[in-house]
Amino acid sequence: MVTTVEVLTPGMQTTVQDLGRPGYGHLGVSASGAADPLALRLGNLVAGNCEDAAALEMTLLGGRFRFHGPALCVLAGADFTAALDGVPVELWTPTYVRAGQTLGFGGTRGGARCYLCFGGGLLAAASLGSCSTHVPSGIGGRPLLKGDVLTVRETAASPEPRSIRRAVLERLRAASDVLRVTHSAQTAEFPPESLDHLYSLPWSVQNDSNRMGVRLAGVLLEAPMRGSMTTEGAPLGAIQVTPSGEPVILFVDHQTTGGYPKIGCVISADHWRIGQLRPRQTVRFVHVSFDEARRLLLEQETLLKPEGLFG
Amino acid sequence: MKWRAVALPSGPDGYNRHLVDRLPKWTQVSDSALLARFDGPTPMEVQAQVTALFDAIREASIEGVRNLHPAFRSLLVVYNPVRWTPQALLQRLEEAGTRPSPAAKRAKTVTLPVCFSPGFAPDLPGVCATAGLESDEAIGLFTARAYRVAFLGFAPGFPYLLGLPPVLAMPRRARPRTHIPAGSVGIAGEQTGIYPADTPGGWQIIGRTPLRLFDARREPMSLLLPGDEVRFVVIDEPGYEELSQW
Report the alpha-carbon distance of residue B39 to residue A169 in Å, rounded.
Answer: 48
User: What share of chain A in percent tops pLDDT 90?
Assistant: 90
**A172 falls within a domain:** no
Most confident of A102-116, A228-242, B97-111: A102-116
User: A288 or B5, which is more confident?
Assistant: A288
Q: Is A165 on the interface with B (CB under 8 A)?
A: no
ipTM of predicted complex: 0.96
Identify whether residues B88 and B145 lie together within a single domain. Answer: no
Q: Do B176 and B234 fall within a single domain?
A: yes
Does A129 contact B at CB distance below 8 Å? no
How far apart are the C-alpha atoms of A272 and A252, rounded to whole Å? 10
**Subunit contact B152:A139, Cβ cutoff 8 A:** no
Residue B6 lies in a domain: no
Q: Establish if B73 touches chain A: CB-CB under 8 angstroms.
A: yes
Task: Clarify whether residues A10 and A150 are in a common domain.
Answer: yes
- DSSP assignment of A259-291: -S-EEEEE-GGGHHHHHTPPTT-EEEEEE--HH
Q: What is the pLDDT of residue B1?
A: 34
Q: Does B174 touch chain A (CB under 8 A)?
A: no
Given pLDDT bands bounded at 50, 70 and 90, which one contains residue B23? Answer: confident
Quick check: B68 contacting A, CB < 8 Å? yes
In the prediction, which pLDDT does B98 show?
80
| For residues A108-112, average pLDDT | 97
User: Where among B81, B104, B127 does a domain terminate?
Assistant: B104
B160 touches chain A (CB under 8 A): yes
**pLDDT score at B6:** 40
SS3 label, residue A162: coil
Q: pLDDT tens digits for A151-189? A: 999 876 766 788 899 999 999 999 999 999 999 999 999
More confident residue, A96 or B103: A96
| Same domain, yes or no: B122 and B83 | no
Highest mean pLDDT among A78-87, A217-226, B105-114 belongs to: A78-87
Q: State whether residue B4 is helix, strand or coil.
A: coil
Does residue B16 belong to the interface with chain A, where contact is any CB pair within 8 Å?
A: no
CB-based contact A290 B1, cutoff 8 Å: yes
CA–CA distance, B196 with B211 (Å, rounded to integer): 9
The total of structural domains in chain A comes to 2
Which range is most confident: A299-303, B3-7, B22-26? A299-303
Query: Confidence band (pLDDT; 50, 70, 90) for B22?
Result: low
Please check whether residues B135 and B73 belong to one and the same domain.
no
A183 and A218 housed in the same domain: yes
A32: chain B residues, CB-CB within 8 Å: none
Per-residue pLDDT, A155: 75
| B127 within 8 A of B206, measured Cβ to Cβ | yes
Domain range for B41 is 17-104
User: What confidence score (pLDDT) does residue A164 get?
Assistant: 93
User: Is A153 found in the same domain as A32?
Assistant: yes
Distance (Å) of CA A216 to CA A196, A220, A267, B80: 16, 10, 17, 27
C-alpha–C-alpha distance, residues A57 and A14, integer Å: 5
User: Which of A169-173, A206-210, A222-226, B111-115 bottoms out in mean pLDDT, i.e. has the lowest?
Assistant: A222-226
CATH code, domain carrying A224: 2.40.100.10
- Min Cα separation A302/chain B (Å): 10
* Contact criterion met (CB below 8 Å) for B101 and B52: yes
Rounded to 5 degrees, what are φ and ψ at B125?
-60, -40
CA distance B29 to B12: 32
- Which pLDDT score is estimated for B40? 84
Measured CA to CA, the distance from residue A252 to residue B197 in angstroms comes to 20
pLDDT at B14 > cutoff 70: no
Domain boundary residue, one of A115, A140, A163? A163
**A145 and A195 in a common domain:** no
Task: Report the SS3 class of residue A104.
Answer: strand
Range with the poorest average pLDDT among A5-19, A150-164, B11-25, B230-244: B11-25
Inter-chain residue contact A184 with B30, CB threshold 8 Å: yes
Residues B189 and B131 in one domain: yes
A156 and A298 fall within a common domain: no
- Do residues B122 and B159 make contact, with C-beta atoms less than 8 angstroms apart? no
Q: What are the tens digits of pLDDT across the range A49-81?
A: 999 999 999 999 999 999 999 999 999 999 999
Task: Work out the minimum CA distance from A133 to partner chain B, whole angstroms.
Answer: 12
In chain B, what residues touch A188 (CB-CB under 8 Å)? none
- B68–A25: do the CB atoms touch at under 8 Å? yes
Mean pLDDT of B35-41: 92
pLDDT at B172 over 80: yes
Residue A208's contacts (CB-CB under 8 Å, 6 or more residues apart) are A215
**How much is the pLDDT for A154?**
82
Q: Which domain holds residue A76?
A: 4-163
The tens digit of pLDDT for each residue in B71-124 reads 999 999 999 999 999 999 999 998 898 876 665 667 899 999 999 999 999 999
Furthest-apart CA pair in chain B: how many Å?
59
Q: Is A170 contained in some domain?
A: no
d(CA B143, CA B83): 47
Residue B19 has pLDDT above 50, yes or no: no
Q: Are residues B48 and B72 in the same domain?
A: yes
Q: Is residue B138 part of a domain?
A: yes
Cis peptide before B220 (omega within 30 of 0): yes
Distances (CA, A) of B107 to B51, B60, B118, B142: 10, 18, 33, 22
**Cis ω before A10 (30° cut-off from 0):** no
Mean pLDDT of chain B: 89
The confidence band for B246, taking pLDDT boundaries of 50, 70 and 90, is: confident
Amino acid symbol at B109:
T
Phi then psi for B120, rounded to 5 degrees? -100, -5
